[in-house]
Amino acid sequence: MLSIVRERIDPRALEAQVRSDTCGGLVTFLGIVRDRADDGRPVRGLQYESYDEMALAEFEKIAGEARERFGDVRLAAVHRVGELQIGDVAVAVCVAGAHRGEAFAACRYAIDELKRRLPIWKKELYADGGGDWKPNA
């Protein structure tokens, strides 16, 4: 389950989607807008754009791959698009599994693949008024 939204992300609501009495491990990753670019320049925020249909289909593939690799895990993710401010949650991934090991591994796999494969693009908005589109990880 992947959602692409324009409004604030509620990590607790996302966790509720994957929680189950069969799962003893629940891992949540939050990607948060920070105030500096990798090169140290001050950032005033980020802008995200996406190709929603393709992103949703690719995430379903990623979720299936995670289940094949790590067992019976439950995954949910939300990615925000539009203009975000410092401190906003840009992406959240939640994974529940029977044990913490597979939950951690599946969560890491999901966020790494999401960043690498989904058609979601990020523009850093610099404090000086400039901006740069960044390549996907």
pTM: 0.94
Does the pLDDT of residue 91 top 90, yes or no? Answer: yes
Q: Is 38 helix (H, G, I), strand (E, B) or coil?
A: coil
Structural domain spans, the chain: 2-127
Specify whether domain 2-127 bears CATH 3.30.110.70. no
Separation CA 135–CA 133 (nearest Å): 7
Cα atoms in the 13 Å half-sphere on the side-chain side of 119: 9
Q: Output the pLDDT for position 26.
A: 98
Kind and range of the H or E run holding 102:
helix 100-117
Q: Output the pLDDT for position 19.
A: 96
